[in-house]
Amino acid sequence: MTAETRDLAALIADVPDFPKVGVSFKDITPLLSSPEAFQACVDALVAASPTDIDVVCGMEARGFIFGAPVALAMGASFVPVRKSGKLPRDTVETTYDLEYGTQTLAIHSDAIKEGDRVLIVDDVLATGGTVAATADLVRRLGGSLVAVSVVMELAYLEPREVLGRHRIDDVTALVTYSE
């Protein structure tokens, strides 16, 4: 871990037993409350990502926080990936399994054009389901998923195993938690 990622990790608070007993929630609000740390995080996400990107996708809601400034810094468009029913025009949707139930994500059907090079940005890579579902939407619209960049990865949940099954190999996490 570099000094920069150690500094970022120090600003991610562990909240035990949230949202339920036995879960340790990783709270990014202390990181966001520091303009310098937030800027360093965005800069690190940009530096860790391929440079030839047309579109950055960020998933509701914290993926918006990091994805939009990364897109601006890269000179790429930003595409929000939202929960079903939240986008006002024609959408493409995909449903995926969660630990307890399912979730449906949607993207505007004209948000990604055939051949667009796409970067997915999010705050956390946990089980991999949200990233895999977003990759499905990107590909269905004709986009080429180039890479995934996240602030933190919960490696102990083995998300890369899930992503590998979905042909998602280029994944960068600024901070990795192995337990």
Question: What residues are labeled active site?
Answer: 62, 99
- 43-77 b/e with 16+ CB inside 10 Å = b? ebbbeebeeebbbbbbbbeebbbbbbbbbebbebb
What does the angle CA 9 – CA 10 – CA 16 come to, to the nearest 5 degrees?
A: 90
- Which of 16, 11, 9 lies closest to 30 in space, CA to CA? 11
Q: Cβ neighbours of residue 76 under 8 Å, at least 6 residues apart?
A: 53, 54, 55, 56, 119
Q: Looking up tokens 């979730």, which residue turns up?
A: 103
Q: Give the phi and the psi of residue 69 in degrees, each rounded to 5.
A: -70, -30
Sign of CA dihedral 150, 155, 159, 165: positive
